[in-house]
A = this chain, B = another copy of it.
């Protein structure tokens, strides 16, 4: 009964891409650890780029620099 929480920046992931993350995470836990898909949960959190920092700066600022 695993629980997977995927956090990504909110930058336009489509419902199809999110469905693919759910499908593959569930499959991964079944193949690697034999976990039952019926009780595997996946939650995707999409985080505003102002609210995600790396190397001391927000992703909003980092995206502008590139």
Contact = CB atoms under 8 A, between A and B. Distances in A.
Given A33-B8, A35-B8, A51 B18 contact: yes
Contact of A20 (B5, B15, B32, B37): B32
Given A47-B43, A51-B18, A4 B2 contact: no
Given A32-B21, A58-B15, A58-B22, A3 B51 contact: no
B43 A3 contact: yes
Interface in A1-56: 1-9, 13, 15, 17-29, 32-33, 35, 37-47, 50-56
Interface of A: 1-9, 13, 15, 17-29, 32-33, 35, 37-47, 50-61
